Amino acid sequence: MKYKLAICDDEEEQREYVLGLVNAWARLGLHLLEIKEFPDAESFLFHYEAEKDFDILLLDVEMKNLSGIDLAKKVRKENSMVQIVFITGYYEYFSDGFDVSALHYLIKPVDERKLYPVLDKAVENLSYRQRSVFLSTTEADIKISLADILYVEAEKVYVKVHTVNEVYRSRISLSKIMEQLDDTFYQVHRSFVVGLRYVKKVSRTDVTMLNGDVLPIRRGIYDEVHAALIHHL
């Protein structure tokens, strides 16, 4: 599979340095890459408007005019799968990446020991989008990518599959649809199974998803859910 990767940094020397590391990683793992370099967020967004097909973004946080964080927020509004990696000289920005589901933060100076495992994880996540569940609705039989499922909700003899774009309803038991899911999903309540990648916050009483939906959590399993989230970071 060929991946499209962007390096966005307003320092040419830094762009070239990261480019060298990325190319070395690709050669080592026999990955096919198309790499684009951008000197600022604005030039990236101009290109992105025409070709919204990037798989991995390596973004400098501190850029003039529009920061890497702001750029990521614009992209994330319409792309749930792109793998976003921030490169920064400051730890203070770490909390900002949570809002855009950043894969990782790398502190400058970056080296292969730090970058290569992150790129490996990005590729693993991207391959995941090919996996799907099959669902029969009143309109048609459809295939839904696991990567697009926010959570599954049991509703009497039906389930509602909440995805990033819409909600599908099917006459099937929750246990049956769970057979098609994997360990990136977790049953937090008898009526709810959540996609761990879309969990924004978990407390002892509820789970908040990235789309703002708040779901109940079964009493006594907070530690288990928290451990599952940590495992799948």
Quote the distance between the C-alpha of residue 37 and its chain's center.
Answer: 22
pTM confidence score? 0.60
Report the pLDDT value the prediction gives residue 115, as an integer from 0 to 100.
Answer: 96
Measured between alpha carbons, how far is 121 from 129 in angstroms, rounded to an integer? Answer: 13
What are 224's two structure tokens? 């288990």
Q: For 46-62, what is each residue's pLDDT tens digit?
A: 999 888 889 999 999 88
Low-confidence stretches of the chain (pLDDT < 70) are: 90-99, 128-130, 233
Q: For 25-36, what is each residue's pLDDT tens digit?
A: 999 999 999 999
SS3 of 178-190: HCCCCCCEEEEEC
Q: How far is CA 41 from CA 58, 171, 197, in A?
A: 11, 46, 26
The closest alpha carbon to 2, from 43, 60, 72, 55, belongs to 55
Catalogue all structural domains in the chain, each as residue range(s) with its CATH number. Answer: 2-128 (3.40.50.2300), 132-231 (2.40.50.1020)
